[in-house]
A and B are shown apart, each in its own frame.
Chain A
Amino acid sequence: GAGVSQSPRYKVAKRGQDVALRCDPISGHVSLFWYQQALGQGPEFLTYFQNEAQLDKSGLPSDRFFAERPEGSVSTLKIQRTQQEDSAVYLCASIDRGRKKDTQYFGPGTRLTVL
């Protein structure tokens, strides 16, 4: 595809449920980022992958959050035992590392609502 895609676009979960959010980066982009955006706030960094290696997960808010990118392309962000404070938009972005210090290209996001 031409851009970063994310699915689902909207997810409603009951508190305590597990959810999985998918990101398809731009083909060939080596670096992939996940951000969390609360209502009325700027996005906040969650985690970063270079190919399949998760090099920085310092932004993950708790051990209920887990991300993977097993083949260095598609990435999944999993949230276990969701809580109401997890309600936010989850954004994925990718960079073509061949062009260092390039623009991050963002997907449309997944809006997660935890009831």
Chain B
Amino acid sequence: KQEVTQIPAALSVPEGENLVLNCSFTDSAIYNLQWFRQDPGKGLTSLLLIQSSQREQTSGRLNASLDKSSGRSTLYIAASQPGDSATYLCAGAQGGSEKLVFGKGTKLTVNP
């Protein structure tokens, strides 16, 4: 059974700092690895999707990497801003349906 772990559970940084969020998974047989953002009381917004054959994806100030052999993914956020404050969730797509198995998330606070 796939298990996804995110470390740290919470992170507080000053504005402008570069930061890394970590995600680990136990089953390397994933179709893709997705990173989402969730604001309080809201649904999930997709940030980046890395296919199983890829190593990384970039979008603006965000860069996500995937290492299937070690069961790890990282989300790098450059030059953090207060608007980046949210909970970040990673999820691995499993099985024929590509159902997602989520971690518990990292709650990020960027202080002005």
- Report which A residues bind B (CB closer than 8 A): 4, 31, 33, 35, 40-45, 48, 50, 55-56, 59, 91, 93, 95, 101-109, 111
Contacts and interface: CB of A to CB of B under 8 A. Distances in A.
B34 interface: yes
* Those 6 A-B pairs whose CB atoms lie nearest each other, nearest first: A42-B102, A106-B44, A108-B43, A106-B43, A48-B97, A103-B46
B46 A91 contact: no
Given A101-B31, A108-B43, A45 B100 contact: yes
A109 B99 contact: no
B75 to A, nearest CB: 15
Contacts of B66: none
Interface string B14-38: 0000000000000000011010100
Contact of B34 (A35, A40, A104, A107): A104
A42 B91 CA distance: 9
Given A101-B51, A103-B49, A105-B46, A42 B89 contact: yes
A4 B49 CA distance: 19
Contact of A109 (B43, B46, B97, B103): B43
Interface residues of B, number: 27
A42 to B, nearest CB: 3
Contacts of B31: 101
Contacts of A109: 42-43
Contact of A104 (B41, B100, B105): B100
Nearest to B95: A56
A80 to B, nearest CB: 23
Name which of A31, A35, A45 has the most chain B CB atoms within 10 A of its CB: A45
